[in-house]
Amino acid sequence: SLCRLKDLEMAKLGDSDVHVKMLAAPINPADINMIQGTYAILSELPAVGGNEGVGQVVEIGSRVTSVKPGDWVIPADTGLGTWRTEAVFPEGTLLRVPSDIPVLCAATLSVNPCTAYRMLADFETLRPGDSVIQNAANSGVGQAVIQIAKASGIRTINVVRDRPDLPKLVERLMSLGADHVITEEMLRKPDMKDLFKSIPKPRLALNCVGGKSTTEMLRHLQHKGTMVTYGGMAKQPVMVPVSAFIFKDVKLRGFWMTQWKKDQMHNKDNLESMIQSLCELIRKGQLTTPACTEIPLEDYRTALEASMKPFTSSKQILIL
């Protein structure tokens, strides 16, 4: 009930503005949190929802140099408000992306694949043969981690919650390039010793759950390894056994894509080269979009409801 569909007047096109016709925009957990007011960013109200998506440039202001009509663009930062059919945005808030990649890949590029890319690159120097462990491995970020790691020869141990259709999920993650898919229960079992006969202990753990899942994951981290927390789906704190700190000297870090992008605002080179690398992977077929359900904007209520159901394995994408 916090959301409704409205017709708005289009802003005038200024010299440094870009008129964009939106094509597609996903619904991510952070978008819902922002609407609920539980996220670290609060928008000035009334606000347009959606932090991610892809649009096509219709017209540009006289001073605009980075894009031209016909180009595809995605948000360079959080809070753009992508759940709309068209808008006028300042040039600096947009990033050009190649239009030869599938539209749903472009629409889901700026949050999850970027988060996965940065976490694999920025905390530990991983080499081919090294391994990474992650929970909520079937999330958008989790699926991107599996594929980006696979393309770099890094092996993944993927933790998921037990569920009725577990074999189907395991099969899907394996087909993306996962090396091992295990349930949270298995994480606690002595059988894990057997797993580490064929794969080195991970140097990096990626956590978006919190609570017990995290404590169990930490047990398997290598000496001096790093655990990066980027979400807290269990809404429970990260608990670390004292022994892990003292005897394993593990590092606990946090990552927030929005902050990373803010830090890059003065110099978009890192952002642009990351987008380029990700588009390369997409073209080679090494990075695909998560399972998506396309929903027309008029049916946004259905899409919002579906995106809040537990065990959702399909991302809701608004087609604009």
pLDDT of residue 314: 83
Identify the residue whose tokens are 């605002």. Answer: 265
pLDDT of residue 143: 96
Model pTM?
0.93
Identify the residue whose tokens are 């708005």. Answer: 8
pLDDT of residue 1: 61
Which residue segments constitute the domains of the chain, with CATH numbers given? 17-108+289-319 (3.90.180.10), 111-257 (3.40.50.720)
Element at 229 (helix H, strand E): strand 226-229
Angle at 293 between CA 100 and CA 277, to 5 degrees: 35
**Could you read off the pLDDT of 136-184 as tens digits, one per residue?**
999 999 999 999 999 999 999 999 999 988 999 999 999 999 999 999 9
pLDDT of residue 156: 98
Cβ 173 vs Cβ 150: under 8 Å: no
pLDDT of residue 265: 80
DSSP secondary-structure letter at 223?
T
Q: How many CA atoms lie within 13 Å of 199's alpha carbon, on the beta-carbon side?
A: 23
Cβ 77 vs Cβ 265: under 8 Å: yes
Above 70 in pLDDT, residue 80? Answer: yes
Rg (CA), the chain: 20
pLDDT of residue 30: 87
Residue 283 in 3-state DSSP?
Answer: helix
For residue 19, give every residue at least 6 positions away whose Cβ sits within 8 Å of its Cβ, in sequence order, or none. 10, 13, 57, 58, 59, 60, 86, 87, 88
Above 90 in pLDDT, residue 213? Answer: no
The torsion angles phi and psi of 58, rounded to 5 degrees, stand at: -100, -45
- Nearest Cα neighbor of 238 from 225, 251, 248 is 251
pLDDT of residue 241: 87
CA 64 to CA 270: how far, in whole Å? 21
Other CB atoms within 10 A of residue 165 CB = 11
Cis before residue 46, ω within 30 degrees of 0? yes
**Could you read off the pLDDT of 5-44 as tens digits, one per residue?**
999 999 999 999 999 999 999 999 889 989 988 888 888 8
Q: Catalytic site residues?
A: 39
Cβ 154 vs Cβ 145: under 8 Å: no
**Could you read off the pLDDT of 231-276 as tens digits, one per residue?**
988 889 998 988 888 999 999 999 999 999 989 888 889 999 999 9
Beta bridge mates, 55: 22, 73
Cβ 169 vs Cβ 163: under 8 Å: yes
Mean pLDDT value across residues 225-235: 92
Residue 303 in 3-state DSSP?
Answer: helix
Instruction: Give the percent of the chain with pLDDT over 90.
Output: 80
CA 154 to CA 146: how far, in whole Å? 9
How high does pLDDT run on average in the chain? 93
Structure tokens at 260: 């990373």
Above 90 in pLDDT, residue 104? Answer: yes
The two beta strands, 204-207 and 226-229, are parallel
Above 70 in pLDDT, residue 83? Answer: yes
pLDDT of residue 40: 83
Cis before residue 75, ω within 30 degrees of 0? no
The two beta strands, 72-75 and 131-134, are unpaired
Element at 206 (helix H, strand E): strand 204-207
